[in-house]
Structure 1
Amino acid sequence: MELLVESNGVIYDMTSCCTKLSLSESLNDGAGSLDFTYLYDGTEIIQNGSYVRLCNTSETDGVFFGRVFKTGMGQDKEVKVKAYDQIRYCKAKDTITIENETLTDLVTRMCNFFQLQTGSLMPTGYVLQAKPQCDKTWLDIIYGAVGDTLIGTEHMYCLRDEYGSVCLRDIADLQLPLIIGDNSLCYEYDWEKSIDDEFYNQVKLVSGNKKTGHADVYITKDTGSIEKYGMLQYYEKLENDSDPAKAKAKANALLKLYNHEKETLTFKCMGDLSVRAGNSIYGSIEDIRLNRRLIVQKVTHDFLPVHTMTLEVMTG
């Protein structure tokens, strides 16, 4: 690995002097971050705003590009530095109106507003419901649009920075030919299956009706699931006079999305730089009857003393 930092116009090669180096990112949950530490030798401490570049062997296979947001040192003279990619700037709050826009349009507008470099922005084709968004961060609005697009199209999209370029990708296009599990990279795992969080087998949507003066109620349910687990209801109040066909379609989509046990699985394994949040890998562990493709929700790469990674995954 090669770690370069540009501070006050001077480029420092930090590759050999780092004592810790890790890269973390989560699926649709903020910017990716690079954390590293080094021992202070009396020269200039890296300043906030400095550019940071992490490459495998050269700039052509870049891994991370961002800027320093935190730096500090203790009595042990170990300097700790945290850098984020450019998505960090999208935490700013604003008032935004969505009107006749797709998720792709919204991401493009955000990048133009913050003057961010863009890469591949996958067209989604799904027009979002028109509504004002007040006092929310741009990222919260984007992630809300990701969820709305998922319900409307059954396609999940990933917003991430790829070496200095903001990209919007369809999760279906991010499959890796990589097996993790028994006898393949993994040396430790932790697994859990739950109906305690984000599991619903009945969906109830309610919309006010100005003509009748009463509420329109839309309910869809899975009786077999209710018999097996008990009734667990999702409730949402829609805008007044919502279109009945769209309300019914949304109820059905929500039931399909939430009517399954939530499975969480964490791998600790040998590192592979191709693995990023949003990518999918194939999981294979005989003891828990795991033999299917999994989406990486969060990944942390630790490069010292050897390259390992911790993955939090979800079923695709």
Structure 2
Amino acid sequence: MSMEFLVKVDNNVYEISGLVTSISYSDRLNDGCSKLEFSYVGDILKVKNGSVISFKYDNVGIFYGYVFKHGQNKRKEITVTAYDQLRYCKAKDTIVVRGDSVTSLVKKMCNYFGLKTGALTNTGYTLATSIQDDKTWLDIIYSGIDDTLTNTGRWYSLRDEFGSIALRDLVDLQLNLVLGDESLVYDYKYDKSIDDEFYNQIKIVSDNESTGKRDVYITKDSGSIAKYGLLQYFEVLNKNANPSQAKSKADMLLKLYNREVETISLDCLGDTSVRAGSSFYGRIGDIELNRRLIVRSVTHKFLPVHTMSLEVAI
């Protein structure tokens, strides 16, 4: 195991690997910035808010970001919280979406905040024209990612990759990794639910300007309704939507949401390739699990040994 932990304060760079007593890195899929929490002992370094943090583990770039919070106790133990570049994108604004894809919105966001960009996958899907008022840049982009998913079936992840903002197709984040029985996992928790993000009837409406009435499109799974009861998803489309678009979206939403939501939490030995949005093969005999899983969230802890806790979606 090798570790490089750099802190830049007032243009001076300090290597503090030998001083650090705890390191926790957390990442969530399309849910804000990643977070690094660490502590160190000693008064050789006075970290400040805005200080730059660079952390590598086994020569892999784990985190590059900025200090937003720090404190200390009587024992001179310093605790620090740092976030990646996406933290700055929590700012609210009025944003016009016109002829934009998620990719172009990400470019506009990074240009506005002066953020460094990396690999930005072209989603190829044009979002509906709208004026987004009093919303954060992140919320608008996440909404665009959801709309792209429901209309194309392609799922994307917005994330910071060691100091560069990236937009990735989840297909490109598949890992050649197995986690489960006799493979890194030492504990798990499994849940199956219809309480959240489960719908067996989709109702989509749009205002028809020519008739002055509201068109209604419904698609449903009668067998699922008989089994679980009617659980309805409702959405109002913009006025420019046509009947074929509404039907296509309703069918896609039913396909996405008409299934029990299975959630698995895993506690494992650490692997630096695992981030939110990446996927791996999960194999756990007790719950008859043998399939590819997508990481919803992950927390890595690096001291005294590298472990990780992840929540995955099936």
TM-score, normalized by length of structure 1? 0.96
The equivalent of 1:119 in structure 2 is 118
Instruction: Among all aligned residue pairs of Structure 1 and Structure 2, give the percentage whose two residues are the same amino acid.
Output: 55
Deviations 1:14-66 (A, max 9, x none): 21111110111100011111110112x334420011110011245xx322111
* Contact kept? 1:205, 1:247, Cα under 8 Å: yes
The equivalent of 2:88 in structure 1 is 89
The answer to whether structure 1 residue 135 and structure 2 residue 95 are counterparts is no
The equivalent of 2:31 in structure 1 is 29
The equivalent of 2:14 in structure 1 is 12
The equivalent of 2:233 in structure 1 is 234
Q: 4+ runs of 1 displaced by more than 6 Å?
A: none
The answer to whether structure 1 residue 300 and structure 2 residue 299 are counterparts is yes
Q: What are the equivalent positions in structure 2 for 1:274-313 lying under 5 Å apart?
A: 274-313=273-312
Amino acid at match of 2:157: C
The equivalent of 2:250 in structure 1 is 251
Number of residue pairs the alignment of both structures matches: 312
* Contact kept? 2:43, 2:76, Cα under 8 Å: no
The answer to whether structure 1 residue 73 and structure 2 residue 72 are counterparts is yes
Aligned-residue Cα RMSD (Å) equals 1.3
Amino acid at match of 1:15: S
Instruction: Give, in whole Å, the separation in 2 of the partners of 1:110 and 1:35.
Output: 26
Residue segments in structure 2 that go unaligned for 5+ positions in a row: none
The answer to whether structure 1 residue 157 and structure 2 residue 156 are counterparts is yes
Amino acid at match of 1:42: D
Instruction: Give, in whole Å, the separation in 2 of the partners of 1:302 and 1:158.
Output: 23
Instruction: Give, in whole Å, the separation in 2 of the partners of 1:123 and 1:155.
Output: 11
Q: What are the equivalent positions in structure 2 for 1:199-210 lying under 5 Å apart?
A: 199-210=198-209
* Contact kept? 1:210, 1:241, Cα under 8 Å: no
* Contact kept? 2:38, 2:81, Cα under 8 Å: yes
- Cα drift, residue 74 of structure 1: 2.5
The equivalent of 1:184 in structure 2 is 183
Instruction: Give, in whole Å, the separation in 2 of the partners of 1:160 and 1:48.
Output: 22
- Secondary structure of the residue aligned to 1:275 is coil
- Cα drift, residue 224 of structure 1: 1.7
Deviations 1:207-230 (A, max 9, x none): 233433332111000112112212
Deviations 1:212-258 (A, max 9, x none): 33321110001121122121111122234631111111111111111
Amino acid at match of 1:45: K
- Secondary structure of the residue aligned to 1:163 is coil
Instruction: Give, in whole Å, the separation in 2 of the partners of 1:236 and 1:64.
Output: 38
Residue segments in structure 1 that go unaligned for 5+ positions in a row: none
- Secondary structure of the residue aligned to 1:255 is helix
Deviations 1:144-197 (A, max 9, x none): 000011011100001111111111110011111111111000000001000111
